[in-house]
Amino acid sequence: MALNAAASMDGQPVPRHVAIIMDGNGRWAVERGWPRLVGHRRGAERVKQIVRACPDMGVNWLTVYAFSTENWKRSTEEVLGLMKIFRRYIEREADGLSAEGVRLRFIGARERLDPKLQALMAGIEARTAGNMRLNLTVAINYGGRDEMLRAAQRLAQRIASGAVATPTEADLSDCLDTAGCPDPDLVIRTSGETRVSNFLPWQAAYAEYEFTPTLWPDFTPAHLAEILDRFGLRDRRFGGT
């Protein structure tokens, strides 16, 4: 498990990797008397703004929690609507992401997703693989415990085959969906909830956390900048003194 050295901007440390639990889309819509899916569409638009803002703020890696393994419990209408939003986002943003130097990757168990969506995901991953300005990871059908179970199964196979003798933390990390990605320095959750909801439990073991009452559709680059400023004032010791 790698611990990141945060970048520096204007003399203040900046998190190299920011992970966001994008919460509050449905509530945002309901408060306005609109269907929940309107909030999810507004939330997708907000992702575009945050993605564009991150590189100029010194953030090199951004991971967003789009759909959890528990979200299948929602109504069929909402789940199908969310999957449609995901497809549209990939189709509409492929050119823009590629032109802006964004590399897009997905984590989570893809097998349950529609084959057409899986194909779109694989296609944009291949198309943007050479981009380096920002690494964007989207967690879809993702659950931290599910990921760790699948990683343990992969590691067991490697041990059985003789590829790994005495397993280490690094060996397990290499079996996670996020293999090759640095651990997040900062995890943000919007909407006022103060729980982590099964998001990156292994990777965020030493991350700083920020919980903001702002609902995701209202979360602007200015809000992100304020949080990054506060991050710069934190003393990160990683268990030291």
Q: Is 229 one of the catalytic residues? A: no
Q: Is 171 one of the catalytic residues? A: no
Residue positions forming the annotated binding site for Mg(2+): 23, 208
In the set 4, 23, 60, 185, the catalytic residue is 23
Residue positions forming the annotated binding site: 23-28, 36, 40, 68-70, 72, 74, 189, 195-197, 208
Do residues 103 and 124 make contact, with C-beta atoms less than 8 angstroms apart? no
Do residues 197 and 226 make contact, with C-beta atoms less than 8 angstroms apart? no
- From residue 3, alpha-carbon distances to 35, 103, 200 in Å are 41, 22, 14
Rounded-to-integer distance, Cα 6 and Cα 16, Å: 5
Closest Cα partner for 195 from 42, 47, 73, 65? 65
In the set 71, 131, 174, 198, the catalytic residue is 71
Residue positions forming the annotated binding site for substrate: 24-28, 36, 40, 68-70, 72, 74, 189, 195-197
Do residues 60 and 134 make contact, with C-beta atoms less than 8 angstroms apart? yes
Write the Ramachandran bin of 98: left for phi over 0, alpha for psi from -120 to 50, otherwise beta.
alpha
Catalytic residues: 23, 71
